[in-house]
């Protein structure tokens, strides 16, 4: 026998309620049969939109959730809403009933019962407006007003007679700011909208038409201000200020909507717009008030200097209103002030003449209130600059030896003095220049055998003349070779310095200077004159030319002569006398030096340009020559130092002075330079009274240079080179006088012997050059 048992109890699923059906268990032959109980599907609420509204009710809200199907009602804090619509399984729409300020629980009920989820709707009190500031503004809008009241939090709009304002800011429960929209003139209710609805419409903002100014009386006054002005127009009532030229007037007194009075402020002469400001904004600015004033000079004309025939321009300005009329006046020397016709602006312009030099000019400004005259400005008229000289006539050209001489006639100067001339050769690039108008000839270096023409240009402060027509054509001749070597105007040197010996077949680079630029120089070897080569000098009148000593030439009495012309066209010969022989050659400068043991010791320059030394034995015989090396370019000079050791000096291949100092064992230390490198042609030396060695040499700049040992204990240490100047034309010769002072000799540019004497013992300071005796009838040479 089987039975059925009903059981109640157990958990209820979330969102469900018991439907009242018990759990039924039935015993069968197969076992126990269970009947599942029925649960109620009550609504579950998740959202309400909007979530707030006015206490008066009437807000349509949409409630979202689940199990909404079959919704029969919705209550707000127990009060049923109305207009239940839009019911679906997840949403329902209903209109709120009236309520009280604050939260109202929302309950949705379906066939299974009311919702159990907590969801609130907030009832908000309606806003109230009690005041607006400002209370009025222009019909164009744009006035920011402050609205005061209650329940203003969350304001979403402010309308003025139904038109929304803009820039809603600074919202609190009792205050907000908003900018007015445009509106016709008149009162406009101000309404604030929040979630609680619209406020009262009893507080108004007044829109005011802008004022219009139509006239002012009087229409002018003094710049100092103080004139009481009546302003006429429309909508002038409640004017807050009146400006004239942007400056606020005083004592504003409204008369009525069409008239007011104000005291004019100070202003500048001229017209100024009158503007009235009311709650309706600013008026038009087309009506002017004039500040009348007599003329007053603000800028006088200034003195100026102009060349005759150029434009003069004077400018003057003055203030004043009405705008002053202008006239200009002129006062010539010895005359009276007269008006200048047609000059009625602030600028006077005219072309100057000689008669206006020293004239004065002024401007007169006049209006209805008076006149004023500027100070006078003086005009200085200077003569027009002179013209450049006329074109010179074609020069006359004469051929010379390695040169050409141009002569010409001075051109018309046109009132300006000629300061010199420049002659240009064709073919170039030779030129010559004179420095005065009376120097109307000059010499140019030329290539022998070349045909030349020249042109001339005159120079002056006013400019250069036109270039002359070309001269006649001439051909320069080559220097003639005399039968015997001519006397020397100056030494002929090499790139290694002066030369006095050479080997047959040796190549030498000769150097010469002092010739006419771009001229031919002929180099000849004597005894029997043999023309070796001709060379063209450079722009400085210098040359450097390699030559080769003939391989069959031997013996003494040979000379190399470079024949040409100087810058003045006169003959110029440079000469070097040579001893020519094969093998090493020896030339000593000064006596044979005795070494520390008293034995004579010789130093010599070999034909291989190495330094050699040889010591005499006690029996008077000489030993083998020792090669001290060096590739030297001068004859050696030696001295015995106070410490008993020899020291030998030469000019090196770099044109600086080098020395070797004897060691204690008689050998020599390697070459070191004397002081810092100083490029020299030659050297000379002697010893001071204290034993220190003084070295002198002729520099590549043809100045005399000197250095000395710093002390006898350090013979390898030297002072810096001193420039003793002089422009010398020979190697220096140096000796110590009986009084212990040093004396140096050299040939000067005039071919005479000059000398300088030490100012005090053991120094490198010397008195200035003076001639050594009377002038010689013949030039000295080395």
Per-residue pLDDT tens digits for 376-402: 999 999 987 788 999 999 999 999 999
**Which of 77-91, 102-116, 412-426, 604-618 has the weakest average pLDDT?**
604-618
Q: Where a domain ends, among 449, 465, 481?
A: 465
Per-residue pLDDT tens digits for 635-669: 889 998 888 889 999 888 777 889 999 998 889 99
Q: Name the token pair of 227.
A: 């004139």
One domain, residues 333 and 313: yes
One domain, residues 626 and 766: yes
| 391 part of a folded domain | no
CATH number of the domain to which 676 belongs: 2.115.10.20
582 burial via Cβ count (<10 Å: 0-12, 13-18, 19+): exposed
* Whole-number Å distance between alpha carbons of 477 and 313: 64
CB burial string 329-364: b at 16+ within 10 A, e below: bbbeeeeeeeeeeebeebebebebeeebbebbbbbb
Do 657 and 637 touch, CB atoms closer than 8 A? no
User: Region 674-701: what's the mean pLDDT?
Assistant: 86
Name the percent of the chain lying above pLDDT 90: 65
Q: List the one residue out of 410, 409, 411, 400 whose CA is nearest residue 452.
A: 400
Average pLDDT, the chain: 88
Is residue 707 predicted with pLDDT exceeding 70?
A: yes
CATH number of the domain to which 426 belongs: 2.60.40.10
Do 758 and 687 touch, CB atoms closer than 8 A? no
Per-residue pLDDT tens digits for 260-282: 999 999 999 999 999 999 989 99
| 620 part of a folded domain | yes
| 483 part of a folded domain | no
The pTM assigned to this predicted structure is 0.41
| 758 part of a folded domain | yes
* Whole-number Å distance between alpha carbons of 420 and 439: 7
What pLDDT shows up at residue 36? 45
One domain, residues 377 and 411: no
Structural domain tally of the chain?
8
**Which of 26-40, 221-235, 237-251 has the weakest average pLDDT?**
26-40
Cα-trace Rg, the chain: 61
One domain, residues 93 and 197: no
Q: Torsion angle, CA of 300/306/312/316, rounded to 10 degrees? A: -10
Q: Name the token pair of 104.
A: 């109202």
**Which of 22-36, 96-110, 439-453, 646-660 has the weakest average pLDDT?**
22-36
One domain, residues 498 and 459: no
Do 536 and 545 touch, CB atoms closer than 8 A? no
Count of positions (residues) in the chain: 782
CATH number of the domain to which 514 belongs: 2.70.50.50
User: Region 247-261: what's the mean pLDDT?
Assistant: 93
One domain, residues 719 and 646: yes
Contacts of 621 (CB under 8 A, 6+ apart): none
* Whole-number Å distance between alpha carbons of 218 and 244: 13
| 460 part of a folded domain | yes
| 587 part of a folded domain | no
- Residue 35: give the domain boundaries: 4-40
What pLDDT shows up at residue 582? 56
Q: What angle do CA 104, 108, 112 make, to 5 degrees?
A: 145
One domain, residues 636 and 754: yes
Q: Where a domain ends, among 124, 140, 165?
A: 124
One domain, residues 607 and 658: yes
Q: Where a domain ends, among 465, 498, 515?
A: 465
What pLDDT shows up at residue 26? 47
| 485 part of a folded domain | no
Q: Name the token pair of 653.
A: 């291949």
Do 327 and 337 touch, CB atoms closer than 8 A? no
**Which of 13-22, 274-283, 729-738, 746-755 has the weakest average pLDDT?**
13-22
Per-residue pLDDT tens digits for 166-183: 999 978 999 999 999 999
One domain, residues 265 and 304: no
| 484 part of a folded domain | no
Contacts of 319 (CB under 8 A, 6+ apart): 268, 269, 293, 295, 296, 298
760 burial via Cβ count (<10 Å: 0-12, 13-18, 19+): exposed
One domain, residues 197 and 251: no
One domain, residues 687 and 551: no
One domain, residues 599 and 737: yes
Per-residue pLDDT tens digits for 468-504: 999 999 999 999 888 888 988 888 988 877 777 777 8
Do 326 and 344 touch, CB atoms closer than 8 A? yes
CB atoms within 10 A of CB 77: 16
């Amino acid at each position: 026998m089987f039975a059925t048992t009903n059981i109640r109890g157990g958990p209820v699923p979330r969102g469900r309620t018991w439907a009242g059906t018990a759990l039924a268990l039935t015993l069968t032959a197969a076992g126990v049969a269970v009947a599942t109980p029925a649960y109620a599907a009550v609504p579950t609420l998740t959202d309400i939109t909007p979530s707030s509204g006015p206490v008066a009710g009437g807000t349509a809200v949409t409630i979202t959730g689940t199990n909404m199907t079959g919704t029969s009602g919705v209550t707000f804090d127990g009060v049923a809403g109305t207009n239940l619509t839009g019911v679906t399984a997840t949403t329902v729409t209903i209109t709120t009933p009236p309520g009280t300020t604050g939260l109202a629980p929302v309950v949705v009920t379906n066939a299974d019962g009311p919702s159990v989820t907590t969801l609130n709707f907030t009832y908000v009190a309606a806003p109230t407006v009690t005041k607006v500031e400002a209370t009025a503004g222009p019909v164009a809008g744009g006035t920011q007003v402050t609205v005061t009241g209650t329940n203003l939090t969350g304001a979403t709009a402010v309308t003025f007679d139904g038109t929304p304002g803009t820039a809603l800011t600074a919202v609190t429960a009792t205050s907000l700011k908003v900018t007015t929209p445009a509106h016709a003139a008149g009162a406009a209710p101000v309404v604030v909208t929040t979630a609680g609805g619209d406020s009262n419409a009893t507080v108004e903002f007044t829109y005011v038409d802008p004022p219009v100014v139509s006239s002012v009386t009087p229409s002018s006054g003094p710049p100092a201000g103080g004139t009481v002005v009546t302003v006429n127009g429309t909508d002038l009532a409640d004017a807050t200020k009146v400006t004239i030229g942007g400056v606020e007037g005083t004592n504003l007194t409204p008369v009525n909507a069409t008239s007011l009075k104000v005291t004019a402020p100070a202003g500048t002469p001229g017209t100024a717009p009158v503007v009235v400001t009311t709650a309706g904004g600013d008026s038009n600015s087309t009506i002017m008030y004039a500040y009348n004033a007599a003329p007053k000079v603000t800028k006088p004309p200034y003195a100026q200097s102009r060349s005759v025939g150029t434009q003069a321009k004077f400018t003057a300005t003055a203030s004043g209103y009405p705008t002053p009329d202008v006239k200009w006046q002129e006062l010539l020397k010895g005359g009276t002030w007269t008006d200048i016709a047609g000059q009625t602006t602030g600028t006077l312009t005219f072309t100057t003449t000689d008669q206006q030099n020293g004239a004065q000019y002024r401007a007169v400004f006049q209006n209805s209130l008076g006149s004023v005259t500027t100070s006078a400005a003086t005009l200085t008229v200077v003569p027009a600059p002179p013209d450049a000289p006329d074109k010179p006539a074609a020069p006359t050209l004469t051929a010379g030896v390695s040169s050409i001489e141009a002569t010409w006639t001075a051109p018309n100067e046109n009132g300006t003095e000629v300061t010199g001339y420049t002659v240009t050769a064709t073919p170039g690039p030779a030129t010559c220049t004179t420095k005065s108008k009376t120097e109307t000839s000059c010499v140019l270096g030329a290539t022998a055998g070349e045909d030349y023409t020249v042109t001339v240009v005159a120079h002056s402060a006013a400019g250069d003349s036109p270039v002359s027509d070309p001269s006649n054509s001439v051909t320069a001749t080559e220097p003639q070779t005399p039968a015997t070597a001519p006397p020397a105007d100056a030494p002929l040197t090499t790139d290694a310095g002066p030369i006095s010996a050479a080997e047959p077949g040796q190549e030498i680079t000769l150097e010469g200077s002092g010739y006419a630029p771009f001229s031919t120089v002929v180099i000849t070897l004597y005894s029997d004159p043999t023309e070796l080569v001709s060379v063209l000098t450079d722009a400085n009148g210098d040359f450097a030319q390699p030559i080769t000593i003939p391989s069959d030439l031997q013996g003494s009495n040979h000379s190399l002569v470079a024949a040409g012309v100087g810058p003045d066209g006169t003959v110029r010969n440079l000469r070097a006398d040579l001893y020519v022989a094969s093998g090493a050659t020896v030339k000593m400068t000064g006596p044979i030096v005795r070494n520390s043991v008293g034995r004579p010791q010789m130093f010599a320059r070999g034909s291989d340009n190495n330094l050699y030394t040889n010591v005499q034995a006690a029996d008077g015989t000489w030993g083998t020559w020792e090669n001290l090396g060096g590739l030297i370019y001068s004859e050696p000079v030696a001295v015995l130092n106070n410490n008993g050791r020899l020291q030998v000096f030469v000019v090196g291949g770099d044109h600086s002075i080098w020395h070797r100092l004897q060691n204690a064992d008689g050998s020599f230390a390697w070459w070191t330079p004397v002081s810092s490198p100083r490029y020299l042609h030659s050297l000379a030396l002697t010893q001071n009274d204290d034993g220190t060695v003084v070295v002198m040499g002729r520099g590549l700049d043809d100045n005399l240079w000197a250095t000395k040992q710093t002390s006898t204990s350090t013979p390898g240490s030297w002072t810096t080179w001193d420039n003793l100047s002089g422009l010398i034309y020979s190697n220096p010769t140096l000796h110590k006088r009986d009084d212990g002072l040093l004396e140096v000799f050299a040939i000067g540019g005039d071919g005479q012997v000059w000398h300088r004497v030490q100012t005090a013992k053991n120094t490198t300071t010397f008195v200035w050059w003076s001639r050594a005796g009377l002038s010689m009838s013949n030039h000295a040479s080395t």
